[in-house]
Amino acid sequence: MIEFKNVHKSFKNNTVLNNINLTINNGELLVLIGPSGCGKTTTLKMINKLISPTSGSILIDGEDISKKNTIELRRNIGYVIQQTGLFPHMNIGENIELVPYLKKWPLEKRRARSKELLSLVGLDPDKYTDRYPDELSGGQQQRVGVARALATNPDIILMDEPFSALDPITRNSLQEQVFKLQQELKKTIIFVTHDMDEALKLGDRICIMAGGDVIQFDTPENILRNPEKSFVEDFIGKNRLWNKPEFIKAEDIMIRNPITSSPNRTILQAIEIMKGNKVDSLLVVDNNDILIGIVTSKDIQGNITSSSVKLGSIMTKDLIYAKTDDSIGEILKIMNKNNVGFVPIVDENGCLKGLVTKSSLITLFEEKLLYEVV
């Protein structure tokens, strides 16, 4: 665990960090993001003591890093920067083996580790071990940079805008590589970027900074759904949630307070409720608002000769429904699979919370398109 406790940093009269507090959990990928000059890179560099705080403390697993040997600390923290930082006079194998060499690993162990890591980042060790950095593309060099950061199997890896200078295709490929590596290795990664799309792709949590302050620190989903301040909403883009449909939940789009009925209502009463509310079906709930059935106009027509029949005896009990935290994509799948025009939304206890209809979805999509045009 990495903890920032009231960390303040000033350069002369310029405040860069304003008494920030952060807790970074073991095994998570934390993204630091914000406009230029917000303090994100300064925060990152404090973890390996490239920059020292003016006041406050930084702890790793409960130990104040100001009391740790700086060289030993850095050798146990992987570091990947934008320019890769590969030594041009060393071949790829030697670059990866540098820290293991400094830690006095035997040659055989270093070579084996180098080959293992090249394979891990998608580079054939037989082809790349003896090449030099200027013989590789920018994307290949960054893969080597990631491999070198992993050389001694550190628990913490710092990544300072490692992909910002790469073309979009290479960048996407490396983002996917880092994501897969994190799923496999579960390192604690602190990743600095200025790109919100990159942050959303990679982060377990995202720390949005501005003017030396932490503005919002949360999961990508919560930031998209509940930006705490207008700055966050403007920074991430007001319409960005629509680019992440897996984050759009039923509770965000459902019609609240749908038309319901008690199972004790008669068919005649149901007809009047339908007419008064201009609907062709009723959601039947018990006294605790638990969804127990659905009655459609077809159900009523089939029993119209006996208007005193109760809805509880004719309602459909084989229910098709979705949960409040189901995504919009999951709801559409339910509709298409069952060929239905609406889906009731219930909570984890089966309590009715809302309704999603195809017509309401169409209206919602039309409003989104209109918003984009305007």
- pLDDT of 370 higher than 60: no
- The CATH number fitting domain 2-247, selected from 3.40.50.300, 3.90.550.10, 3.40.50.1470, 1.10.3720.10: 3.40.50.300
- The CATH number fitting domain 251-366, selected from 3.30.1490.20, 3.30.70.2740, 3.30.70.270, 3.10.580.10: 3.10.580.10
- pLDDT of 299 higher than 70: yes
Whole-number average pLDDT of the chain: 85
Q: Quick one: pLDDT at residue 373?
A: 40
Rg over alpha carbons for the chain, rounded to the nearest Å, is 28
Positive or negative: CA dihedral 88, 91, 96, 99: negative
Beta strand spans in the chain (E): 2-11, 14-24, 29-33, 55-60, 63-64, 77-81, 156-160, 188-193, 205-210, 213-218, 255-256, 260-261, 281-285, 291-296, 322-323, 342-346, 352-357
Rounded CA-CA distance 195/207 in Å is 13
pLDDT digits (tens, 9 = 90+) for 253-272: 888 888 899 999 888 888 88
- pLDDT of 24 higher than 90: yes
Q: Are 326 and 313 in contact (CB under 8 A)?
A: no
Categorize the per-residue pLDDT at 3 as very low, low, confident or very high, splitting at 50, 70 and 90: very high
pLDDT digits (tens, 9 = 90+) for 113-146: 988 888 888 888 888 888 898 888 888 888 888 8
Q: Look at residues 198, 191, 244, 254 and name the one whose alpha carbon lies nearest to residue 221.
A: 244
Specify the residue for token string 């930031």. Answer: 223
Rounded CA-CA distance 142/19 in Å is 33
Rounded CA-CA distance 132/340 in Å is 61
Q: Look at residues 340, 372, 338, 337 and name the one whose alpha carbon lies nearest to residue 359.
A: 340
Q: With pLDDT > 90 as the criterion, what percentage of the chain qualifies?
A: 22
pLDDT digits (tens, 9 = 90+) for 146-197: 888 888 888 898 988 888 777 778 778 888 888 888 888 888 999 999 888 8
Q: Look at residues 259, 271, 265, 275 and name the one whose alpha carbon lies nearest to residue 311.
A: 265
Averaged pLDDT, 243-259: 77
Categorize the per-residue pLDDT at 208 as very low, low, confident or very high, splitting at 50, 70 and 90: very high
Q: Look at residues 56, 52, 43 and name the one whose alpha carbon lies nearest to residue 6.
A: 56
- pTM more than 0.75: no
Please report, for the chain, the start and end positions of each structural domain, with discontinuous segments joined by +. 2-247, 251-366
pLDDT digits (tens, 9 = 90+) for 62-99: 899 988 899 888 888 888 887 667 888 989 988 988 88
Element counts in the chain: helices (H) and strands (E): 16, 17
198 against 31, higher pLDDT = 31
Averaged pLDDT, 316-344: 87
